[in-house]
Structure 1
Amino acid sequence: MSAAASSRRIVLLRHAKADWPAVPDHERPLAERGRKEAPAAGRRLVDLGIPLDLALCSSAARTRETWKLAVHELSHRPRTVYEDRLYDATLGDLLALLTETPEDVDDLLLIGHNPGMHALADALAGQADGDALTRLDRSGFPTAAIAVLTFSGPWKSVEHGVARLTEYWDSHA
């Protein structure tokens, strides 16, 4: 299949619930609740059945710990890159990262933070299946939430409204 016709999926995972100890924000670990949410998010990724090619994970402690607990649930571990630019990323930063994705990647997972994860899902979703967009907007993309967006074409063409929000899962709902 040519890159122009390729069907792509972007899976967004917000880190699980973090604790608030007296450490720099980047080093905050998961709270007890987060250590339960992360494996549940991993099981949801399994249920979605998406063969992830690449995971880009924020370098923050809470995202790395979320991914470590979530990926343990998967039968296939995708190549993982810990990406400093995902920490405290703006919508523009996230869009730029997506456009840099190698063309041999069809299914990409981003493990990051709010407000960026919510802003990215909202910006990309030109269309949505069922009430997925309403649920996303109502929830505000809480910890350990997952959104799946699909689009066709090369990664460099990712822009506002290009995707369809096909799944939205909130472990708190």
Structure 2
Amino acid sequence: MKTLYLMRHGQKEIDSSKDDFDIKLTTNGIKDIEDISNKLLEDKVQVDLIASSPALRAKETAQILANKFGYEKPIIYNEVIYQAFLNELHEIITYTYDTVDSMILVGHNPSLAILALNYCGYKDKFDMGYVIRIDFNCDSWIDVSKNNAEFKKVYKIGK
């Protein structure tokens, strides 16, 4: 089995003077990501790989998560995750080494929401800081698809 956690970056600053790529998390956004990381830890989530958009708010989210988990491997920053299309995110996932059983993908909407909808039919809100767990009944990432995907849980900020 393979487990994918889709994680939307935390609450971002509203600053029209900055390029979208360079917008940081707010103080509340940082706290929310710390809280959601604690919820994942309470559920004994195991993380073999963290992959993230290189946009500043996603990087900050991934770094907070890694620190909370004691994750010492390099975080994989992939420019494609920023403003990705569905097929591009699917390709990133399917190219993951099979030694990885559980990965967290930190990114942005609408692409993460579309990916969750495509894999497991998730249609509810996917707000900043939320995490969606999807399990795949397969042994290789190359085989992940909506045909073997099962929605397991959504982790929500403050709930």
The answer, yes or no, to whether TM exceeds 0.5 is yes
Q: Within the alignment, does 1:145 sit opposite 2:130 as a pair?
A: yes
Structure 1 vs Structure 2 CA RMSD: 1.6
Alpha-carbon shift at residue 46 of structure 1 (Å): 0.8
Answer yes or no: is the 8 Å Cα contact 1:43–1:73 preserved in 2.
Answer: yes
**TM-score of the superposed pair, with normalisation by structure 1:** 0.84
Aligned equivalents of 1:150 and 1:34: distance in 2?
27
**TM-score of the superposed pair, with normalisation by structure 2:** 0.91
Alignment of 1:91-110 (within 5 A): 91-110=86-105
Q: Within the alignment, does 1:157 sit opposite 2:143 as a pair?
A: yes
* Secondary structure at 1:89 match in 2: coil
Kindly provide the amino acid, as one letter, of the partner of residue 47 in structure 2: L
Answer yes or no: is the 8 Å Cα contact 2:50–2:62 preserved in 1.
Answer: no
Q: Deviations over 1:72-114 (max 9, x none)?
A: 2214445421111110111111111111111111101100001
Structure 1 unmatched runs, 5+? 1-6, 127-132
Answer yes or no: is the 8 Å Cα contact 1:39–1:73 preserved in 2.
Answer: yes
Alignment of 1:110-129 (within 5 A): 110-125=105-120
Aligned equivalents of 2:62 and 2:71: distance in 1?
13
* Percent identity of equivalent pairs: 24
Kindly provide the amino acid, as one letter, of the partner of residue 163 in structure 1: A
Q: Deviations over 1:10-67 (max 9, x none)?
A: 0111000111221111111112221211111211221221221111011000000112
Answer yes or no: is the 8 Å Cα contact 1:99–1:157 preserved in 2.
Answer: yes
Kindly provide the amino acid, as one letter, of the partner of residue 13 in structure 2: D
Alignment of 1:1-173 (within 5 A): 7-21=1-15, 22-125=17-120, 133=122, 137-139=123-125, 141-153=126-138, 154-173=140-159
Kindly provide the amino acid, as one letter, of the partner of residue 29 in structure 1: K
Kindly provide the amino acid, as one letter, of the partner of residue 85 in structure 2: T
Bigger drift between 45-54 and 57-66 goes to: 45-54
* Secondary structure at 2:69 match in 1: coil
Answer yes or no: is the 8 Å Cα contact 2:55–2:82 preserved in 1.
Answer: yes
Kindly provide the amino acid, as one letter, of the partner of residue 63 in structure 2: K
Aligned equivalents of 2:70 and 2:59: distance in 1?
19
